[in-house]
Structure 1
Amino acid sequence: MSRIEKQFTVQFWGVRGSIPSPGPHTVRYGGNTPCVEMQVGGKRLIFDGGTGLHVLGQSLLRQMPTEAHIFFTHSHWDHMQGFPFFSPGFVKGNNFHIYGAIAPDGSTIEQRLNDQMLHPNFPVPLQIMQANLNFHDIQSGQPIYIDDITVETSPLNHPGEAVGYRVNWLGGAAVYITDTEHYPDRLDENVLWLSRNADILIYDSTYTDDEYHCPKSPKIGWGHSTWQEAVKVAQAANVKTLVIYHHDPAHNDDFLDCVGEQAAAKFSGAIMAREGMVLQVPVSATLSESFPVSKFSA
C-alpha cells in the first residue's frame, strides 16, 4: 500500500449552515456551506455538496482524472448549491458515484440535482456534465459497502428528512451528522448508534441553548441542534473527538471562539470545524473483519 492508501483523513471544505457567509468577520472559520471530504484507504468520499464543494472541486482539477463517492444528507439548498459549480463534474473521464435517500415526495437525488439546474434557476442542465455520474438511491438504515469500507446510515430528525453517515475502515470510524434536531427529553437513539465509540463525530451545533430556547425567537422545530446537546451525545457515545459543525451564518469568528472555549471546558475532545482543517482517524495495520461487497461497491 502507498502512504495515502494506509490513511483515513477528514478534511473540511465548508462548515457554515443555511447560507454562505463570506466576509471579514468569518475569515477564521470560513463562510462556505457544508462539504466534508474523507480519504479512506485511497478512496475519496465526499459528504454534502454545499458551496464548499466548489472549493474542493477546484483542488481536484490538479488531480484528474478523478473518482469520488458523493453522499448527500438531504437536498436543502445549503447542502447541494455547490454541485452545479463542481468543476470536475463537467470534465469527461472523471467518475462520480452519487448517493442519496428518496425524499418524502418520492423524488430521487438525481431528480433533485437535475431540478435545481433547470431554467429559470440555472443556465445549463445537469446533462451538460461530461463526467460519468452514477446515481444510487439509498435506504436510510441500510449500510453501503465500498470494497472494505462500510458506510452506515440512519435517519435524522429534520424537516423533509435527512440521513446521517458513519464511515468504518480498519477499526477507525468518522461520523457525519448534520441537520438534525435533538429531542427535549432524551438523546436520539439513531444519533447515539451512529456515534458509538467514534474517533470523530461531526455534529450539527448550529445554535446555543440560549438561542434555541430564546423566548422572543425560539429555534424549536427548525431542524438543528446546539453545541450543548453535541457534548451530551459525545459523552454518552464515548466519542474521542467532537467537531462542532454547521455554524450559524450570524455567528462571527469571535462568537465561535467563545463557543469553542465553552465546549472544550465541558468536553476535552471538542473542537470547532474550520475550513481547511484536516483530521487523522487512527486505523489498525490490518483489516480485522471482512465486509461483503454490495451493488454499491466501487
Structure 2
Amino acid sequence: MTFKIKFWGVRGSIPCPGPTTVRYGGNTTCVEMAIGRERLIFDAGTGIKMLGDSLSSQESVSADIFFTHSHWDHIQGFPFFTPAFRPGNFFRVYGVPTPDGTTIEQRLHEQMLHPNFPVPLQTMQGIVAFYDLEVGEDVVIGNIELQTRPLNHPGEAMGYRVTWQGITVAFITDTEHFPDRLDDNVLALAQNADVLIIDATYTDEEYYDRQMSKVGWGHSTWQEAVKVAQAARVRQLILFHHDPGHDDSMLDVIWDRAKQQFPATAIAKEGMEISLIPGTMANPLATITIVG
C-alpha cells in the first residue's frame, strides 16, 4: 500500500482560469491524500468539484474532509461536491470553530442558504457527521495519525501533520511568517517531514512592497518556505497556495529561484501526484515519486 497525494486546487484567494494559468491551474485549494485504504481531503476550494467528478463512477465513496479554516477560497467548492449528495456515500467533516465560536458546520450551512445558493446543506445525504477540533488536538483514523497546530492567519487557521507507516506529510496553509524568527508551530508540523506542502503565496518583493505591502494579509513567501524546509530538514518541499496574479511564467521563475536554494523543491500543479512508498529495514526512508 502507498501514500498518494493529488492536487485538485492550488490557488489562493479566488479562482483564476484562463490561458495564462493553464499549466499550473486556476482552482482554489483542495488536496486529496489516499493513504492505504483511507481517503483524506484537505479543504474544499473549487478544486473539490473536479475531485468529486473523478469519484462519480464509484459505487460507494467515503472520505474524511479536513478544513484548515473557512475563508471563502477554502470552502467555495463544497456545494459542488456531488458525491456528498448521494445516499450511501460516507463523509466525515472536521474543522476548528472560528474565534466567535462558529462551527465548520455552521459556516458551510450559511454559504448554502439563500441568496447565496439554491440547495441547502441538509440535501447532502452523504454527510454523516461534523467534528469540531480543538487547535492542537490529535486525530486518529485507522492507522493514520494527524497532529494539528495553530497557524498565523486572520480569523485563525490550522495546519496538519499526517503520519502513516513512518511517512510524514505536512500541510501548512494559510500562514504568515514572523519577521524575526521561524514559527514554532510551523516547524513542529514540518520537522523531518517527507513532504512539506506550504503556503508560498508571495515573493519577498511583493510582501514588502512599499506601495502595496502584504504584511498582515495572512500569507507567506516562497523564500520563507525555503527557510522552513531547510530548518525542519524536510525531504521534499512543495510550494502551494499560489497568488491568483501569478501566471504560469511567473511560477516558472519562482520555481527556478527556489530550486537554487533548496534543490528538492517542486511547485504544486493541478493534477500533480506524489506517491510515497514506506521504507524497508535496509532503507528506512520512504520512496518519493512526483508525476505531473
State TM-score, norm by structure 2.
0.95
3-state SS in 2 of match to 1:186: coil
Moved more, 275-284 or 160-169: 275-284
1:227 partner letter: W
Post-superposition offset of 1:26? 0.2
Distance in 1 (alpha carbons) for counterparts of 2:138 and 2:41: 16
Write the deviation string for residues 124-181 of structure 1: whole angstroms up to 9, x where unpaired. Answer: 1100112133101111111100011001100000000000001100000111101100
Distance in 1 (alpha carbons) for counterparts of 2:280 and 2:110: 44
Distance in 2 (alpha carbons) for counterparts of 1:137 and 1:60: 26
State TM-score, norm by structure 1.
0.93
Distance in 1 (alpha carbons) for counterparts of 2:280 and 2:265: 27
1:200 pairs, out of 195, 204, 211, with 195
Q: In the alignment, is residue 126 of structure 1 matched against residue 132 of structure 2?
A: no
The residue that corresponds to 1:38 in the other structure is 33
3-state SS in 2 of match to 1:281: strand
Distance in 1 (alpha carbons) for counterparts of 2:158 and 2:146: 12
1:248 pairs, out of 243, 246, 256, with 243
Moved more, 133-142 or 81-90: 133-142
Distance in 2 (alpha carbons) for counterparts of 1:200 and 1:255: 23
| Partners of 1:93 and 1:132 within 8 A in 2 | no
Task: Mark the CA change 1:285 to 1:90 in structure 2 (over 3 Å): closer, same or farther.
Answer: farther
Post-superposition offset of 1:27? 0.1
Distance in 2 (alpha carbons) for counterparts of 1:163 and 1:86: 22
The residue that corresponds to 1:85 in the other structure is 80
Post-superposition offset of 1:285? 5.8
3-state SS in 1 of match to 2:238: strand
3-state SS in 1 of match to 2:211: coil
Q: Percent identity?
A: 59
3-state SS in 2 of match to 1:251: coil
Distance in 1 (alpha carbons) for counterparts of 2:122 and 2:277: 40
Moved over 4 A (4+): none
Q: In the alignment, is residue 113 of structure 1 matched against residue 85 of structure 2?
A: no
1:154 pairs, out of 143, 149, 154, with 149
Q: In the alignment, is residue 274 of structure 1 matched against residue 269 of structure 2?
A: yes
| Partners of 1:11 and 1:38 within 8 A in 2 | yes
3-state SS in 2 of match to 1:165: strand
Superposed CA RMSD: 0.9
Distance in 1 (alpha carbons) for counterparts of 2:57 and 2:230: 40
Distance in 2 (alpha carbons) for counterparts of 1:285 and 1:108: 42
Aligned length: 281
Distance in 1 (alpha carbons) for counterparts of 2:217 and 2:237: 22
Equivalences for residues 7-156 of structure 1 within 5 A: 7-156=2-151
Post-superposition offset of 1:186? 0.2
Post-superposition offset of 1:238? 0.4
Distance in 1 (alpha carbons) for counterparts of 2:276 and 2:189: 16
